[in-house]
Chains A and B, each alone.
Chain A
Amino acid sequence: GAVVSQHPSWVICKSGTSVKIECRSLDFQATTMFWYRQFPKQSLMLMATSNEGSKATYEQGVEKDKFLINHASLTLSTLTVTSAHPEDSSFYICSASSRGEQFFGPGTRLTVL
């Protein structure tokens, strides 16, 4: 139990386009989900906290208009990278909280050409 999936697992897009990444809790409901970003050989950096039915809380330095987060249901949160540029290329990881623990998705590799 407590499985979190992400889709797609990898995506390549052209500069200037928008990309949507989905995060789903498959067998539990999560009122809170988190979005992280990981650069090569660096730690995961929290980007934002997503709460079902309300606006996401962004960490300092994260552009909320560039990284749009929607947590429309208790099992789905989406991250949309708008007008992506090569510097947005990274590994994006989501997690979901349940029963006092945080469960992580496998991540999405975004490459912007």
Chain B
Amino acid sequence: GDSVTQMEGPVTLSEEAFLTINCTYTATGYPSLFWYVQYPGEGLQLLLKATKADDKGSNKGFEATYRKETTSFHLEKGSVQVSDSAVYFCALTPNGSGNTGKLIFGQGTTLQVKP
């Protein structure tokens, strides 16, 4: 079945460091891909998405490119801030159904940014 694999955390970085969180997926057809962020005590929030191959999602300085050839959707940010400390989840919905349908999540990666 469809699945998502994320790099294990926690990831600890100093402020202004470059961030990469790896995400790879297994799916049939053409899934839609998402990154969600969960700040302490809050619900998951959609960070960015991409619905077809080679699309780049971006938001708040974060970027991820849908790479069908490597089945990857790695999250990057050029310069992290303390306020970026959170748990990040990579997810997919099968066959491009948008995120109104069934979401399949990775295990989440905790990011801690130190001043």
Binding site for B on A (CB under 8 A): 4, 32, 34, 41-46, 49, 93, 95, 97, 100-107
Contact = CB atoms under 8 A, between A and B. Distances in A.
B61 interface: no
B43 A107 contact: yes
A4 B43 contact: yes
- Greatest chain B CB density within 10 A among A45, A100, A103, A104 is at A104
B99 A102 contact: yes
Contacts, number: 49
Nearest to A31: B100
B57 interface: no
B107 A102 contact: no
Interface of B: 4, 36, 41-46, 89, 98-100, 102-108
Given A43-B105, A106-B41, 12 more contacts: A32-B100, A42-B107, A42-B108, A43-B4, A43-B107, A44-B89, A49-B102, A95-B44, A100-B99, A101-B98, A101-B99, A102-B103
A51 to B, nearest CB: 12
Contact of A101 (B46, B107, B108): B46
Given A41-B107, A43-B106, A106 B42 contact: yes
Contacts of B102: 34, 46, 49
